[in-house]
Amino acid sequence: MLLQKTVPGDPAMQYLRDPAEIYRESFAIIRAEADLARFGEGERDLVIRLIHACGMTDIVDDLQISGNAIEKGRSALACGAPVICDVTMVAGGIIRSMLPAGNQVACGLELNEARAFALENSHTRSAGGFEALREKIPGAVIAVGNAPTALFHLLEMVGSGLASPAVVLGFPVGFVGAAESKAALAANEHDIPFITLAGRRGGSAFAAAALNALAAGLDP
């Protein structure tokens, strides 16, 4: 690893400080250590960014990318589709300057409609957030980084006749419903393009990293 040079007697610790070089070296290490063989050329940038977000090269074994997900996601973003997130942590991790069309980033978690839906249906506010933004979902890029209930409810909405989003980045995390909701996404009968990580692992950093990779590849 390259370290920042310091002058003799300088009390500063030696470590790499240049942001661009940190990214370049990080991605080089990932390419050297991760088995990316099963991913297509167009998928590898996204996989590398996901590994970079968590520091775990073994996630490659659990990543699932539907055949048209990256193409559909990038096309939707280029055409100005909104990005709809289940929680504000996902929205906060999206690098707005990367979005190709000044795309709206929306999260309905704090909307009154979300609270009302959760109360009336004994459900979660994250699911209510998707319900509150129902009209924006068709053709949108959906990023789920926390709540399995939000992903389940999204699939229920499409199953009930709502037009499909362009792509779903499904990375809910946890011990109750996370693995099951992602399995349901991967098996969905509505041909919704998806990117997901099977099992319990996931989180907002994954969802934001996937979105950033769709928006602009590996550029920091």
Instruction: Please give the positions annotated as active site.
Output: 52
152/172 Cα distance (integer angstroms): 10
* 17 phi and psi angles, rounded to 5 deg: -120, -20
Q: Is the dihedral of CA 220, 133, 177, 74 positive or negative?
A: negative
Hey, which residues does 65 pair with through a beta bridge?
195
Distance (Å, whole) CA 63 – CA 141: 18
Residues counted in the chain: 220
- Please, are residues 124 and 150 in contact by the beta-carbon 8 Å criterion? yes
Structure tokens at 219: 């550029």
